[in-house]
């Protein structure tokens, strides 16, 4: 009896939706979406992961995705899948974007510190963001990315994505007010993290500026402008070294909270 490919082809529409949802994190998520990884490798990884996940979703007796089998049995024309594919990819992008925000928050704090220390012009190129960033900002970015990997953030992202199939059926994701509230809340947490990380330096430079103003008034012979640059860099470097543990403790706590928030939203 000849064996045709029709039963296998009937699974293609549903598998494509799974593929594009998984491909979303390979465009945005930390580690997975790194621009240092060639695009073709990221595409192959997304195809490989989707081939591993899809058989689990159609496993007999599993009701994780009640709408997968209707897609398989009824079929879905490729020219009608545009909106469904966009929504599926948006899920992966949102998960990856949310996981990236704490790292960007550390980079924002580093930018503030660079400006206050006068190191804004001493930039280095960061291929992850595609532009030049300050030395402290790049240092915070690399350390934040390393901590993200050490605590298993990449595993949380992948687990949340796979778990989202149990909560959000294929082709049924709709952007509503709850999604917008999630994005706004995550962005708010990112900027708050940046301010909390840079707060010790901001307080120090405020007191330093006030003290140099008093010195300029009492001892006008001193060139405060030239002395101030050296003092700000030295004091700023000492404070960064001394408060480094506290800064990354704050980052680790916020990272856990944000990852848990994303996980509860997409895969409760």
Which pLDDT value is given to residue 127? 61
Measured torsion, CA atoms of residues 188, 189, 193, 194, in degrees rounded to the nearest 10: -30
Which pLDDT value is given to residue 59? 62
Find out whether 197 and 250 touch, Cβ atoms under 8 Å: yes
Find out whether 29 and 156 touch, Cβ atoms under 8 Å: no
CA distance 66 to 81: 18
Which pLDDT value is given to residue 71? 53
Which pLDDT value is given to residue 52? 85
Blockwise average pLDDT, block size 10, the chain, 268 residues: 57 81 86 82 88 76 49 53 80 88 87 78 62 77 88 88 83 78 86 85 82 77 72 80 82 87 84
Which pLDDT value is given to residue 131? 63
Which pLDDT value is given to residue 192? 87
Tell me the sheet residues that pair with 131: 126
CA distance 113 to 95: 29
Model pTM? 0.81
The helix (run of H) or strand (run of E) holding residue 74 is: helix 68-74
Domain boundaries, the chain: 6-266
């Amino acid at each position: 009896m000849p064996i045709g490919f029709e039963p296998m082809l009937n699974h293609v529409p549903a598998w494509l939706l799974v593929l594009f949802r998984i491909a979303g994190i390979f465009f945005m998520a930390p580690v997975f979406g790194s621009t240092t990884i060639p695009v073709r490798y990221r595409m192959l990884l997304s195809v490989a992961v989707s081939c591993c996940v899809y058989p689990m979703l159609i496993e007999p007796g599993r009701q994780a995705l009640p709408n997968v089998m209707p897609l398989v049995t009824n079929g879905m024309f490729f020219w009608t899948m545009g909106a469904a594919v966009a929504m599926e990819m948006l899920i992966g992008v949102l998960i990856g974007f949310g996981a990236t925000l704490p790292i960007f928050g550390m980079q924002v704090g580093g930018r503030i510190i660079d400006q206050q220390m006068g190191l804004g012009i001493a930039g280095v190129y960061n291929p992850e963001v595609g532009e030049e960033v300050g030395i402290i900002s790049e240092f915070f970015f690399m350390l934040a990315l390393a901590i993200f990997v050490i605590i298993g953030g990449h595993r949380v992202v992948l687990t949340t994505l796979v778990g989202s199939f149990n909560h959000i059926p294929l082709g049924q994701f709709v952007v509503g007010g709850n999604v917008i509230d999630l994005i706004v809340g995550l962005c708010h947490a990112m900027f708050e993290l940046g301010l909390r990380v840079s707060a010790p330096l901001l307080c120090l430079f405020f007191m330093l500026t006030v003290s140099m103003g008093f010195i300029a008034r009492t001892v006008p012979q001193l060139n405060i402008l030239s002395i101030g640059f050296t003092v700000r860099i030295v004091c700023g470097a000492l404070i960064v070294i001394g408060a480094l543990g506290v800064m990354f403790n704050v980052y680790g706590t916020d990272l856990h909270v944000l990852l848990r928030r994303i996980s509860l939203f997409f895969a409760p």
